[in-house]
Amino acid sequence: MITFLANARIIDPESLTEREGNVILDGRLIAAIGSAQAPKHARVIDCGGMALAPGIVDLGVKVGEPGDRHKESFRSAGLAAAAGGVTTIIARPDTNPAIDTPEVLEFVTRRAEAASPVRILHMAALTKGRAGREMTEIGFLLDAGAVAFTDADHVTTDTKVLSRALTYARSLGALVIGHPQDPGLSAGAAVTNGKFASLRGLPGVHPMAERMGFDRDMALVEMTGARYHADQITTARALPALERAKANGLDVTAGISIHHLTLNELDVGDYRTFFKLTPPLRAEEDRLAMVDAVASGLIDIICSMHTPQDEESKRLPFEEAASGAVALETFLPAAMRLYHAGHLTLPQLFRAMALNPARRLGLPQGRMAEGAPADLVLFDPDAPFLLDRATLRSKSRNTPFDGQRMEGKVLATFVGGAQVFGERD
């Protein structure tokens, strides 16, 4: 099947450019980009000058399978992703049980393939049960399709265990994703230290805990030569360390969640638990420093850190409430805030949301190029709307953007050349 996308504002994150033009999808791939004419028998879609970009590759999505299917299933996550322009979900292994054996990995792979309209790839745990004591069968898990290894927000405190896991992973070329946070300093924290935390009487963590965790991991990466990605760097204090690590030639990248780029600690207001995240939201100065770091490319990847939580686990006093927010459907509109504020261009955004994560994982997605997979999102970056969380497709609706004015609407999503979201003529 051939699709002709006419009259689009084509976003190319590789060259960091945008231009008007047409795109031809042939089968599962992008066949041509530019001023080509519509081939015979093609399905023609007039994009009306709307933005057409590579679909989002979302590194670090929590789906509730296995264990918490009432919070999110592969089906509901896939539908939410399609509606949000996310064409590849990289699922986290912090499930119950953890995805730490080839058998569990095969199970979730099968379930995801049957249920989801978008691509779902899986990460596996680095240590068994994410307990930080014994490494998982990294080789078998790689063979079974694991794209990266992470214990998510569980920090391995035993550096001997971690150094061995990193060494072993390096020998197989596996990517290890760490959560840079000193576990001692951050124990029991619900917010970031500062005036706001003290005013609300909430236990906070000093931003230095992130740099301490990152510094430790960098020492181990230098020691073992492992490929490493920091899931979220959210404080300005950690940036010089990241810059140094890259300059020293370590195989290191870093990510940040869209929430840490668009919200700050004050948004918690009067104990609004939908704003409770891991790590906690930061000061405005930190947020701005992070936006700059994404623009410069120091921070490589923006992810959603989609973490579905049911009402019961959020309707509690702030300290006791579960942390995390859903974001698959609000990822793109939230990112448009950075675009409309003039902080980031659309190509810069899609470099961080599509190209870089795909590259880091060795995937062919994320590119606006002939021969690349036809995973695309067509969206109107300016369309305004009022977000009503009741309309979300996720089974859990713990979004911090409820009731807020947003701009940016997904019009159509294509995965492997097939339209999985949007109106059809």
Q: Is there binding between residue 270 and other proteins (CB under 8 A)? A: yes
| Closer by beta carbon to other proteins, 206 or else 246 | 206
**Residue 199 interacting with other proteins (CB under 8 A):** yes
Asked if 201 is part of the footprint of other proteins (rule: CB under 8 A), the reply reads yes
User: Would you count residue 315 as binding other proteins (CB under 8 A)?
Assistant: yes
| Residues 200, 195: Cα–Cα separation, whole Å | 9
Of 57-65, 88-96, 149-157, 312-320, the window that binds other proteins (rule: CB under 8 A) is 312-320
* Smallest distance, other proteins to C-beta of residue 192, A: 9
Tell me the window of 103-111, 199-207, 238-246, 292-300 that interacts with other proteins (CB under 8 A): 199-207
Choose one: 139-147, 187-195, 329-337, 354-362; the region binding other proteins (CB under 8 A).
Answer: 187-195
Site map (CB under 8 A) of other proteins, residues 335-364, x = contact: ------------------------------
* Residues contacting other proteins: total by CB under 8 A: 22
Residues in Cβ contact with 204 at an 8 Å cutoff, skipping those fewer than 6 apart: 189, 190, 191, 192, 193, 194, 197, 198, 280
- Establish if 310 lies at the interface with other proteins (CB under 8 A): no
d(CA 354, CA 350): 5
The percent helix, strand, coil of the chain (3-state, each to 5) is 35, 25, 40
Smallest CA-to-CA distance from 351 within 119, 57, 86, 80 is with 57
If binding is defined by CB under 8 A, does position 319 make contact with other proteins?
yes
Least distance (Å) between residue 150 CB and other proteins: 30
Of residues 149, 196, 401, 421, which one binds other proteins by CB under 8 A?
196
Q: Which x/- pattern, by CB under 8 A, does the window 206-235 give for other proteins?
A: x-----------------------------
- What are the backbone angles phi and psi of residue 391, rounded to the nearest 5°? -90, -5
Among the listed ranges 115-123, 192-200, 372-380, 400-408, the one in contact with other proteins (CB under 8 A) is: 192-200
For residue 192, give the 3-state DSSP assignment. strand
State the amino acid at position 353 in one-letter form: M
Nearer to other proteins, 270 or 425 (CB): 270
> Which of these segments, 109-117, 153-161, 309-317, 415-423, binds other proteins (CB under 8 A)?
309-317
Measured from the CB atom, the residue of 283 and 354 that comes closer to other proteins is: 283
- Site membership for other proteins, residue 200 (CB under 8 A): yes
Q: Which two tokens stand for residue 224?
A: 């073992």
Applying CB under 8 A, which part among 149-157, 191-199, 291-299, 329-337 lies near other proteins? 191-199
Choosing from 97, 129, 183, 194, the residue that interacts with other proteins (CB under 8 A) is 194
Q: Which of 251, 262, 252, 267 is nearest to 349 (CA)?
A: 262
Q: How far is the CB of 199 from other proteins (least distance, A)?
A: 7
- CA geometry: angle at 121 spanning 387 and 261, to 5°? 40
Handedness of CA 381, 383, 387, 389 (dihedral sign): negative
Question: How far from the centroid of its chain's Cα atoms is residue 361's Cα?
Answer: 13
Q: What would the two tokens of residue 318 be?
A: 């702030």
Smallest distance, other proteins to C-beta of residue 212, A: 16
The partner residues of 378 in beta bridges, in order of sequence, read 52, 412
Which of left, alpha, beta for 416 (phi over 0: left; psi -120 to 50: alpha)? left
Phi, psi torsion values for 112, nearest 5 degrees: -65, -40
Is the separation of the CB atoms in 325 and 307 below 8 Å?
A: yes
Contact residues: other proteins, CB under 8 A = 193-204, 206, 270-271, 312, 315-320
